């Protein structure tokens, strides 16, 4: 469960890797936009 990506954002801020998985396409798209704005690498 990735939700809005907050945990992934914090992991990146701590120079750690994070893995998130979201079932809801709408929430996943919103989280991806936020993470891309931070210029994070998405798989």
Supply the pLDDT for residue 24. 92
- List the domain boundaries for the chain: 6-37
Model-wide pTM > 0.75: no
27-36 pLDDT, tens digit each: 989 888 888 8
pLDDT at 17: 87
Q: Is 3 helix (H, G, I), strand (E, B) or coil?
A: coil
Whether the per-residue pLDDT at 41 is higher than 70: the answer is: no
Report how far residue 30's alpha carbon sits from residue 35's, in angstroms, rounded to the nearest whole number.
Answer: 9
Q: CA triplet 36, 40, 43: central angle to 5 degrees?
A: 90
Residue 25: per-residue pLDDT: 92
Using left for φ > 0, alpha for ψ between -120 and 50, and beta otherwise, residue 37 falls in alpha
* Tens-digit pLDDT profile for residues 12-27: 889 898 888 899 999 9
Q: Report the distance separating Cα 17 and Cα 38, nearest Å.
A: 14
């Amino acid at each position: 469960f990735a939700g809005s990506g907050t945990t992934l954002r914090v992991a990146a801020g701590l120079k750690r890797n994070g893995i998130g998985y979201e079932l809801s396409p709408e929430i996943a798209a919103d989280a991806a936009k936020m993470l891309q704005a931070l210029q994070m690498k998405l798989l």
